[in-house]
Structure 1
Amino acid sequence: MISKKLFSIICAIVVWILGISFYLLSHSVPILENPERQSNIVLVLVIIPSAWLGTYVFYKYNYMKPSSLALTFVLVAITLDVLVTVPVFVIPNGGSYSDFFGNPMFYTIVVEFYFTVLYFGNHLTKKIET
């Protein structure tokens, strides 16, 4: 059986893949004049069902405090942003690490991500306990 820490990391990677996929896909469907703003709006909207899915799958097979799971999801996403998102997608388009991590929207999405996982985790663990 896979450990709960490893499984939480795998669930977090799946959520990150969903988020980055929709973020990149939104660039190919121009609706707003500013494609970066459009992609951030899409990510803000997509992170909620993606985080819910990852949280649901995790709690279907394992248990961890919701705050620990939320922190794991956020740390995995930030690590993947450092290792993949910035060097593969941001830098080739003229951006930098400081542009990416200096953007206030990044921190808004991180906070939204954390509290979404925390909320759904608390909701799902209450169902487990009763």
Structure 2
Amino acid sequence: MKNLNLKRVAIAGFITYAIGVAAFLTSFFVPVMSNPELQANFVLAFAIIPASIIGASFYLKKDFQTKGLLVGIGMFIITMLLDAIITVPVFVIPHGGDFVSFFTDPGFWLIALL
């Protein structure tokens, strides 16, 4: 097993994050449910699976021989950091939320486990 390429893991995590945020925000412009936040969480829950596959595919396209679990954990850490640096200050706090409510929300952890 070769070492984990941290630069590629970071890029793969960013790709996953960008697709997830784009899906989440776009869902607000297509009202299907009466609760737009619940709708956005459903969309994110479905979008995160292909987003993770795309991110992992980016990492693995150079034929790196590594454990997929390590890549997944690395991508999750990167997306959590990006959530803390970008998502919470830009999208959550202006709407009355905070870091604690965002990171202790059971929906966040359910989506993370997907």
TM-score (norm: length of structure 2): 0.91
Provide the rounded CA distance (Å) in 1 between the counterparts of 2:95 and 2:81. 20
Which residue in the other structure is 1:81 paired with? 83
> In structure 1, what is the Cα distance between the partners aligned to 2:66 and 2:94?
38
If each structure's helix is expressed as a fraction of its own residues, which one has the higher value?
1
Residue 108 (structure 1) shift: 0.4
TM-score by length of 1: 0.80
Distance 1:54 1:23 in 2: 17
Runs of 4+ in 1 over 4 A off after TM superposition: none
Q: Which amino acid aligns with 1:47?
A: I
- Gapped runs of 5+ residues in structure 2? none
The answer to whether residue 22 in structure 2 is matched with residue 49 in structure 1 is: no
CA RMSD of aligned residues (A): 1.2
Q: Which residue of 2 aligns with 1:104?
A: 106
Residue aligning to 2:24? 23
AA aligned to 1:48 is I
Shift of 1:25: 0.7
Residue 63 of structure 1 and its aligned partner are, at CA, apart by: 3.1
Q: Deviations over 1:16-74 (max 9, x none)?
A: 00000110111121111111100000000001111111111211113321111010011
